[in-house]
Amino acid sequence: MAHPKFHIALDGPADSNFSSFPSTDLENGDPSKIKLQMIRVKSGVSPKLHFSTDGKNRISDDTTLEYYISLTESNSSKFSKPATPTNGTGNSGAAGNGATAGTSSGSNTENTGNAGNSGNAAPPTTTVPTIIIRVISNAEKDKPSLVAQPTLQKALKDFLNEHDDKNGVKLGKMLSIPPEMRQLAGLQGNWAATAGKAGLKEPGDLTEQEWDRVLTNNRALHGYTYNAKLGTLVRAPRRAFEIRPEIQTSGDKKAILPGIPPFYVHDDAQVTVTEVQTAFQSTMANEGFSSTAVEANLGAAPFGSAASASVAWDTENSYAKQKAQSRRVDSLDVAYKFPRVVVELDPDCLQLTAQCRKDAMNVSDEAGRDKFYKKYGNVFISTFTLGGYLHSTRHLTEEEKSSLDQTKEKTRVAAGFSFSTPKASGGASFSKVDSKTDTEGQNSMNQALRLTWEARGGDTLLCSNPPAWANTVKDFNSWRLMEQRQAVSMRFLIRDVDTIAYENLVKPSKQNNQGRDPFKDEKFLDDIRDMLLEALSNPETNALARRMQDFYEGDKFNLEAYHAFLKEIDDEELAIKKDIKWTALATEQQQGVGLWMVKLGIIKV
Q: Where are the domains of the chain?
A: 7-83+127-140, 87-119, 153-188, 206-393+402-414+477-487, 511-600
H or E segment to which residue 263 belongs: strand 263-265
Distances (CA, A) of 175 to 166, 305, 449: 18, 68, 36
User: How many Cα neighbours within 13 Å face the side chain of 143?
Assistant: 14
Inter-residue contact 231 to 279 (CB < 8 Å): yes
pLDDT tens for residues 187-197?
444 445 555 55
Inter-residue contact 565 to 599 (CB < 8 Å): yes
Report the pLDDT averaged over residues 345-353.
92
3-class secondary-structure state, position 184 = coil
Q: Is the pLDDT of residue 200 over 50?
A: yes
CA distance 345 to 374: 22
What's the gap between Cα 331 and its chain centre?
Answer: 34
- More reliable by pLDDT, 476 or 316: 476
CA distance 256 to 348: 19
pLDDT at 264: 94
pLDDT at 424: 38
pLDDT tens for residues 263-286?
999 988 887 776 666 666 666 666
Enter the pTM of the model: 0.65
pLDDT tens for residues 156-181?
566 556 655 555 555 455 444 455 44
H or E segment to which residue 91 belongs: helix 87-99
The verdict on domain 7-83+127-140 having CATH code 3.10.20 is yes
H helices of 290-403, where? 291-298, 309-320, 354-361, 366-376, 398-402
3-class secondary-structure state, position 403 = coil
- More reliable by pLDDT, 304 or 22: 22
H or E segment to which residue 589 belongs: helix 587-600
Distances (CA, A) of 493 to 53, 316, 499, 535: 46, 18, 9, 12
Which range (10-19, 257-266, 337-346, 354-363) has the least confidence? 10-19
Residue 291 neighbours by CB distance under 10 Å:
19
DSSP 122: S
CA distance 451 to 518: 65
Q: In this prediction, what percent of the chain has a pLDDT beyond 90? A: 32
The strand pair at 331-344 and 7-11 is best described as unpaired
